[in-house]
Structure 1
Amino acid sequence: MHSEKQSVVLIGMPGVGKSTLGVLLAKELGLEFVDTDLSIQTREGKTLQEIMDERGYLELRAVEAQVLLELNFDSAKVVATGGSAVYSPQGMEHLQASSHVVYLSLSLSALRERIHNYEQRGIARAPGQSFESLMEERVQLYRRYADTEIDCEQKTPQQCLQAILTALAKLGLPLKG
């Protein structure tokens, strides 16, 4: 394993565009792409919402923590995490050890425009917890673990991608091309 960080991990609220930007970034950098929400669903054979409905949000977070800890960084990759990845200190430390962690931020109003299925989306939160309360709780954690923050407000996916690439270059990620 290389001592320098060659992977990129995207963190942020549901709806911010981690999966979309992760695919674009992986293509741009010529790296493997991993979506941890999909990894959880594949591993469990259920949607995130089904896991929460059957076993509760804390169990979903526990499964997510395991998926994060099992990620192998022998080869560089781009990882889009679930919005609740930051609740696992061990998982985040594992990601930070070999990756540049990029927090994608967006205003509450912009996220509300993007998320129309909050109740059914499989968002790991306490029963009855509002989206505002969840965002307030998580933003502090995103900022704690991030190497850099990209404001995606009023930006196209391509503009966000360019901002990420610029930030990664400043962090010293060896960019291809």
Structure 2
Amino acid sequence: MREKREEPGRDNVILIGMPGAGKSTLGIVLAKIMNYNFVDADLLIQNQCDRTLQKLLDACGPDGFIEVENQVLSDLECERTIVSTGGSAVYSDAAMEHLGQIGRIVYLQISYDELKNRLSDLQERGVVLKGGISMSLRDLYDERKPLYEKYADIVVDVNDLSITAAARKVAAALA
């Protein structure tokens, strides 16, 4: 765990990390532990666009999807809320800057090997592959890891932890 910055008034917690890192599931448990609200950004995008992430990706392509995600995240206003972002949120500087202004950004870090064990098929999850469908999981991991590290206020290693244990670890890091 490392902490980068702490500013008063940022009472939201923004979860970032790879697809399969547990952002949504952990976010719900963390919200209960901290007595916060919970927002899943992927569900916000689906509701606002009235289609699944995969259908949105198919229709707009990776760049179009990132534009939609950027807009939804940049417009997000909440208080005392755990926000689970999509794994591709870090492709948008504007969205990440906004999220950093309204909350502390927590990177749920998992190893590549752990990621391989958790993810089966990227094409079915609505995962943004900027390099196209030929992009490997390793390529995706190597591309995104530095971005997660760049935006994170707090990094929490969640390898080999149950969701509850990982949520407790994040809560402790935020205390």
1:135 aligns with 2:153: no
| SS across alignment from 1:159 | helix
Residue 159 (structure 1) shift = 1.3
1:32 to 23, 34, 37: 37
1:122 to 126, 129, 141: 126
Equivalent-residue separation in structure 2 for 1:154 and 1:121 (angstroms): 22
Residue 63 (structure 1) shift = 0.6
Equivalent-residue separation in structure 1 for 2:42 and 2:89 (angstroms): 10
Q: Give 1:12's aligned residue.
A: 17
| SS across alignment from 1:120 | helix
Residue 3 (structure 1) shift = 4.9
Equivalent-residue separation in structure 1 for 2:139 and 2:29 (angstroms): 30
Equivalent-residue separation in structure 1 for 2:162 and 2:80 (angstroms): 26
Q: Give 1:113's aligned residue.
A: 117
| SS across alignment from 2:125 | coil
Equivalent-residue separation in structure 1 for 2:121 and 2:55 (angstroms): 14
Residue 55 (structure 1) shift = 1.6
User: Please, which runs of 5 or more residues in structure 1 have no aligned partner?
Assistant: 170-177
| SS across alignment from 2:18 | coil
Residue 76 (structure 1) shift = 1.8
Q: Give 2:4's aligned residue.
A: none
Please tell me the residue identity of whatever aligns with 2:124.
Answer: Q
User: How many residues get paired?
Assistant: 167
Equivalent-residue separation in structure 2 for 1:162 and 1:77 (angstroms): 16
RMSD of aligned Cα (Å): 1.3
Q: TM-score normalized by structure 2?
A: 0.92
Equivalent-residue separation in structure 2 for 1:107 and 1:76 (angstroms): 29
Residue deviations 1:101-133 (CA, integer Å, cap 9, x gap): 000011111111111121221101131211111
Q: How does 1:1-177 map to 2 (within 5 A)?
A: 3-73=8-78, 75-126=79-130, 127=132, 128-169=134-175
Q: Give 2:3's aligned residue.
A: none
User: Please, which runs of 5 or more residues in structure 2 have no aligned partner?
Assistant: 1-6
Q: TM-score normalized by structure 1?
A: 0.91
Residue 97 (structure 1) shift = 0.7
| SS across alignment from 1:119 | helix
Residue deviations 1:123-169 (CA, integer Å, cap 9, x gap): 01131211111111111010000011111111111211111011101
Greater length-normalized contact order (CA 8 Å, ≥ 6 residues apart): 2
